[in-house]
Amino acid sequence: MLLALDVGNTNIVVGVFENEALRASWRLSTDRRRTADELAVFLKHFFSATGFVFSDVDRVIISSVVPPLSTALKEMSERYFSVKPLIVGPGVKTGLNLKLDAPREVGADRIVNAVAALRLYGPPLIVIDFGTATTFCQVDEAGDYRGGVIAPGVAISMEALYQNAAKLPKVEIAPPPSVVGRNTVEAMQSGLFYGYIGLIEGMIERMKRLYKKPPKVVATGGLGRLFAEATPLIDVYEPDLTLYGLNWIAQLNA
């Protein structure tokens, strides 16, 4: 089986694949200080809850935007799984053509998402990942990756309000009863939720002008479902998009 690990700034997403089938997936919070041994303890707990054992795994693939954890996960893979992991980066086959000024600067997660969306839905595409940052990626009619947009994630926006405005509280990121709030919490929720809907829809509309035919808009990420259900401009939400991309890249490099 394949162990797939996607390391973001907020969460580590873990998946176990048997050929094309995603057998199980889990999330744990990203902590740059975690050691290889600590990460193995978390995985052992996840595995035991679903009836897997470490010896079931014969391949490991890692996508990471957090270098300290890349090192720890590599060490964990070699020590506990006796497997040298495939780490997504320069030199790894992805099947994706990057038509960019600086291809090496593109985050591994964005590449993996584009690979998965292409495999699942075909071009052209707009791929949106609602993570610590919200990213929009353009895949053209030929299936080439043309670039993208990086915006602050909605959770970062909420934290910025809380940290920099003395009287504003932390609030749940959720739609309030009305677009016009009747108290501070509702007013903040409206600004965060509906303001972010405005950002999403505005960016999609602007990006669509770059295509000769309408692209499919695919969303993923922790808060993706919330916003996908709130706007008709997102065609599909796939929570495990990155894991599927990792599985296909692993197969391509087998």
Model confidence over 193-216: pLDDT tens digits? 999 999 999 999 999 999 999 999
| Residue 194 backbone dihedrals phi, psi, to 5 degrees | -70, -30
Bridge partners (DSSP) listed for residue 109: none
Helix (H, G, I), strand (E, B) or coil at 167: coil
Residue 18 confidence class, pLDDT cut points 50, 70, 90: very high
Query: Tell me: the pLDDT tens digits for 85-115?
Result: 999 988 899 999 999 998 888 889 999 999 9
- Whether residue 26 contacts residue 14, with contact meaning beta carbons closer than 8 Å, is answered with yes
pLDDT at 90: 85
The tokens 């949106």 sit on which residue? 128
pLDDT at 226: 94
pLDDT at 117: 98
Dump strand ranges (E) for the chain: 2-7, 11-18, 21-29, 59-64, 86-87, 125-130, 133-139, 145-152, 216-220, 236-237
Dihedral angle at the C-alpha atoms of 126, 132, 18, 51, nearest 10 degrees? -150
Catalytic annotation present for 56: no
Contacts for 176-184 with beta carbons within 8 Å, 24 or more apart?
A: none
Rounded CA separation 2/20 (Å) = 10
All domains of the chain in start order, with CATH: 2-87 (3.30.420.40), 103-239 (3.30.420.40)
- Catalytic residue among 31, 37, 101, 109, which? 109
